[in-house]
Amino acid sequence: MVTEKAKSIAVAVDGSTAAWEAMQRAINMAQLLQLPLDVLHVIQLRKAGYFAFIDRHLKEDQEAYAKKVLADAVLRAEKKGVVVHTHLIEGEKDPSGAIINFLDQARGVKFLVLGAHGHGFVGRHLLGSTTERVVREVARRALPVPVLVVPSIKLEEEPEPSKEK
């Protein structure tokens, strides 16, 4: 069996609080292991209807948001002296499939870092659907990439409690 040398650490970001916490953990790991960071953002291609211009505008909006998220990720990594490569990936279904395909094609990813994402009381105690699917598929395919799931410590922005007397 030929052991491949680790080339990078991968992290998937979607702009959520949980994703930024995962990004910070991935940056720390990249510094410690002296590896570059592959930052992934998946755009889900969905057809809104029969009108091509609507689909085009939806895709343009998603691409603009993705570029903003990836630019923020680059700034965060470069502040810590980590070399970063961004990957804007398009997927037709669930983002988990696109992430798995990246891992399968990239070869040599030392770790994949994902945020445990959820909203509300129940969501904070369960894995997000994309994270769960990635973990299951990595195990099913026996991909040689450990997946680190970073629990979200900070809560998504919740409304302030009212201060009525």
Kind and range of the H or E run holding 1: none
pLDDT digits 0-9 by tens, 45-84? 766 566 655 667 788 888 999 999 999 999 999 999 999 9
Q: How many CB atoms lie within 10 A of CB 136?
A: 13
Residues spanned by the domain of 12: 8-147
Instruction: Give the pTM.
Output: 0.81
Asked if residue 155 belongs to a domain, the reply is no
Asked if residue 50 belongs to a domain, the reply is yes
Asked if residue 154 belongs to a domain, the reply is no
Q: For the chain, what is the domain count?
A: 1
pLDDT digits 0-9 by tens, 149-160? 998 776 554 444
Distances (CA, A) of 108 to 2, 15, 85, 135: 12, 25, 14, 17
For residue 72, give the CATH number of its domain: 3.40.50.620
